[in-house]
Structure 1
Amino acid sequence: MGKVSKRVASILHMKEHETLFSCPLCKESMHVTDDGHVICGNHHSFDIAKQGYVNFMIKPAASMYSKSLFESRQEVISSGLYNQLQQTIAKNIGDEAQVILDTGCGEGSHLERICDLLTQDVVAIGIDISKEGIQAAAKFYEQKIWCVGDLANNPYKKQSIDCILNILSPANYDEFSRLLKPNGKVIKVVPQSGYLKEIRKQAFANSEKESYSNNQTVERFKEHFTNVWQERITYTVPLSAQLVPKLLEMTPLGWHLQEGISLTEITIDLDVLVGEHD
């Protein structure tokens, strides 16, 4: 028997874990049919696409991110630029988490590389409002559940997730609390003052945006979760010429720059926030 298609592989994988799903329209449990429909008891149905993902959006949403941007992001992340971050996240996930949800996963590269660092097998789920991002995730990475969906209305059951990842992405703490199992974790990554400072300096020279503070974001996180732990990751690495346009395309900071920008190194400066849900 030859290799099955992406769609068939995704149907089989989602059927195996169908108890995780909750209808985004009515919150009923869902069933994955043999022919690739994710359907609830009230007959709300969502199709598994040929690329191997499900679109759970119940109303259209515009995204400013293009297919090209996500391909650039995949190349930059796969280069190893964020290795230290991914290692720190994997360490904080630990060896007991079984179901991991990456909210705002984009094209899925962080989730893929983090799962590769774990010692246990996990059910890995990625959700993003951008259809282009999820299509890229399904193209690049198999044996994960990829969904287009609204962060405020996740298609997953209450208390179904062990660990939520929220990497340089907006958060919805009420929804995170609904999804997490008792004592589940949220791992949120936010920029620190020196993040991509070489780009920031050229894009926003002599303006308020040249500097950045994450204090409000950190304080809000601490208000919602217990046993909060915070670690700063900062390093500067050489940047190859071929990655420069890719990095500029993947970050909104780079959209403000004109052609001909020269970057020979880049600074990664991030806070990793880890909190528990009671």
Structure 2
Amino acid sequence: MGKVSKRVASILYMKEHETLFSCPLCKESMHVTEDGHVTCGNRHSFDIAKQGYVNFMIKPATSMYSKSLFESRQEIINSGLYNPLQQTIAKHIGSEVRTILDTGCGEGSHLERIGNLLTQDIVAVGIDISKEGIQSAAKFYEQKIWCVGDLANSPYKKQSIDCILNILSPANYEEFSRLLKPKGKVIKVVPQSDYLKEIRKQAFANSEKESYSNEQTVQRFKEHFTNVLQERITYTMPLEPMLVPKLLEMTPLGWHLEEGISLTEITIDLDVLVGELSKV
């Protein structure tokens, strides 16, 4: 028997884990059919695309992120620029977690690389509002559940997730609290003051945006979760010339710069916030 198609492989994998799904329209449980439909008892149905993902959006959404941006993001992440961050996240996930949801997963490279650092088998799920990002994730990374969806109305059951990742992406703490199992954890990554400072200095020289504070974001996280741990990761890495335009394209900071900028190194400066679900 030859290798099955990407769609068939995704159907089989999603069917195996169909208890995760909840209809974004009516919140009923969902069933994955053998022919690739994710349906609920009220006959709401979402198709598994030939690329191996499901679009759970119930109304159109526009994204400022293009296919080219996600290609650049994948190349930057797979260059190893964020390896220390991914290692730190894997450490905080630990060995007990079985189900991980990456919110705002983009093209999926962080989730893929973090999963590869874990010693246990996991069910890895990624959600993003950008269809282009999820299509890219499904193209390159198999044996995962990739969903186009709105984080404010995610297609997953209450208390179905052990660990939520939220890496340099907007959060929805009400939804996080709904999705997490008891004793579940959220790992959120936010910029610190020197994050991409080489770009920031050139994009916003002599303006208020040249400096950055994450204090309000950190405080809001601490208000929603308990036993919060905050770990700062700071390092500067050399940057190959061929990666400079890729980095500028993947970050909104770089959109303000003209072509021809010269970067020989880049600083990564991030806070990793780890919090547990507050007892209700």
- Shorter-chain TM range is over 0.9
Counterpart residue number, 1:69: 69
Counterpart residue number, 1:185: 185
Partner Cα separation in structure 2 for residue 77 and residue 4 of structure 1? 29
Partner Cα separation in structure 2 for residue 237 and residue 211 of structure 1? 20
Counterpart residue number, 2:4: 4
Task: Could you tell me which runs of 5 or more consecutive residues in structure 2 were left unpaired when the two chains were aligned.
Answer: none
Deviations 1:125-147 (A, max 9, x none): 00000000000000110000000
Question: What letter corresponds to residue 141 of structure 1 in structure 2?
Answer: Y
Q: Secondary structure at the match of 1:152?
A: helix
Counterpart residue number, 1:266: 266
Question: What letter corresponds to residue 86 of structure 2 in structure 1?
Answer: Q
Question: What letter corresponds to residue 242 of structure 1 in structure 2?
Answer: M
Q: Secondary structure at the match of 1:237?
A: strand
Partner Cα separation in structure 1 for residue 125 and residue 94 of structure 2? 17
Map residues 156-235 of structure 1 onto 2, 5 A cutoff: 156-235=156-235
Partner Cα separation in structure 2 for residue 2 and residue 206 of structure 1? 61
Map residues 97-108 of structure 1 onto 2, 5 A cutoff: 97-108=97-108
In the TM superposition, residue 12 of structure 1 has moved relative to its aligned partner by 0.2
Partner Cα separation in structure 2 for residue 5 and residue 198 of structure 1? 44
In the TM superposition, residue 98 of structure 1 has moved relative to its aligned partner by 0.5
In the TM superposition, residue 201 of structure 1 has moved relative to its aligned partner by 0.4
TM-score normalised per structure 2: 0.99
Task: Could you tell me which runs of 5 or more consecutive residues in structure 1 were left unpaired when the two chains were aligned.
Answer: none
Q: Secondary structure at the match of 1:135?
A: helix
Counterpart residue number, 2:134: 134
Question: Runs in 1 of length 4+ with deviation above 6 angstroms?
Answer: none
In the TM superposition, residue 82 of structure 1 has moved relative to its aligned partner by 0.2
In the TM superposition, residue 211 of structure 1 has moved relative to its aligned partner by 0.4
Partner Cα separation in structure 1 for residue 52 and residue 147 of structure 2? 9
Counterpart residue number, 2:17: 17
TM-score normalised per structure 1: 1.00
Deviations 1:205-225 (A, max 9, x none): 000000000000000000000
Question: What letter corresponds to residue 64 of structure 2 in structure 1?
Answer: M
Counterpart residue number, 2:50: 50
In the TM superposition, residue 229 of structure 1 has moved relative to its aligned partner by 0.2
In the TM superposition, residue 251 of structure 1 has moved relative to its aligned partner by 0.3
Deviations 1:50-99 (A, max 9, x none): 00000000000000000000000000000000000000000000000000
Partner Cα separation in structure 2 for residue 10 and residue 199 of structure 1? 39
Counterpart residue number, 2:241: 241
Partner Cα separation in structure 2 for residue 86 and residue 69 of structure 1? 21
Partner Cα separation in structure 2 for residue 200 and residue 3 of structure 1? 47
Cα root mean square deviation, aligned:
0.3
